[in-house]
Amino acid sequence: MKILVCISHVPDTTSKINFTNNLSEFDPNGITFVINPYDEFGLTRAMKIKESTGATITVLNVGPTSTEPTLRKALAIGADDAVRIDAEPKDACSVAQIIANYAKGQNYDLIITGRESIDYNGGIVPGMLAAHLDLPFVNACIGLELDGTNAKLTREIDGGKEHLKASLPILIAGQKGLVEEKELRIPAMRGIMMARKKPLTVVAATDVTQHTSVLKFELPEEKAACTMIDAQNVDQLVELLHTQAKVL
Partner 1 sequence: MAILVYTESWNGSFKKSSFEAVSYAAQLGKKLNSEVIALTIAAKEDASILAKYGANKILTVTNQTLELFNNQAYANSIVSAAEAHQVDTIVISNTNNGKSIAPIVAVKRNASLITNVLETPSSTNPFTVK
Q: Between 57 and 133, name the residue whose CB sits nearer to partner 1.
A: 133
Q: Between 75 and 171, name the residue whose CB sits nearer to partner 1.
A: 171
Strand partners, 34: 10
- The DSSP secondary structure of 69-130, one letter per residue, reads HHHHHHHHHT-SEEEEEE-----HHHHHHHHHHHHTTS--SEEEEESS-TTT----HHHHHH
Q: Between 83 and 140, name the residue whose CB sits nearer to partner 1.
A: 140
The answer to whether residue 38 forms part of the interface with partner 1 (CB under 8 A) is no
* Nearest Cα to Cα of residue 138 among 160, 102, 162, 117: 162
Write out the binding residues for partner 1, residues 45-64 only, by CB under 8 A: none
Q: Between 86 and 156, name the residue whose CB sits nearer to partner 1.
A: 156
The answer to whether residue 127 forms part of the interface with partner 1 (CB under 8 A) is yes
The answer to whether residue 131 forms part of the interface with partner 1 (CB under 8 A) is yes
The set of long-range contacts for 215-222, using a CB threshold of 8 Å and a minimum separation of 24, is 215/24, 216/22, 216/23, 216/24, 217/19, 217/23, 217/24, 217/26, 218/23, 219/17, 219/19
Scanning 62-70, 78-86, 125-133, 237-245 for contacts with partner 1 by CB under 8 A, the matching segment is 125-133
Cβ 38 to partner 1, closest distance in Å?
A: 13
The answer to whether residue 161 forms part of the interface with partner 1 (CB under 8 A) is no
Write out the binding residues for partner 1, residues 204-223 only, by CB under 8 A: 211-212, 215, 218
Q: Could you give phi then psi for residue 116, rounded to 5 degrees? A: -165, 165
The answer to whether residue 126 forms part of the interface with partner 1 (CB under 8 A) is yes
Q: Between 110 and 171, name the residue whose CB sits nearer to partner 1.
A: 171
Q: Give the span between the Cα atoms of 81 and 198, in whole angstroms.
A: 6
Query: Of residues 137, 174, 178, 198, which one binds partner 1 by CB under 8 A?
Result: 137
Please report which residue ranges of the chain form alpha helices under DSSP H.
Answer: 37-53, 68-77, 92-103, 125-133, 189-195, 234-243
Write out the binding residues for partner 1, residues 62-91 only, by CB under 8 A: none
Q: Give the span between the Cα atoms of 89 and 113, in whole angstroms.
A: 16
Measured at the alpha carbon of residue 110, what is the angle toward residues 104 and 111, in degrees to the nearest 5?
65
The answer to whether residue 191 forms part of the interface with partner 1 (CB under 8 A) is no
Q: Between 1 and 92, name the residue whose CB sits nearer to partner 1.
A: 92
Query: Of residues 12, 25, 162, 181, which one binds partner 1 by CB under 8 A?
Result: 162
Which spans of this chain sit near partner 1 (rule: CB under 8 A)? 92-93, 96, 121-128, 130-132, 136-137, 139-140, 155-158, 162, 211-212, 215, 218
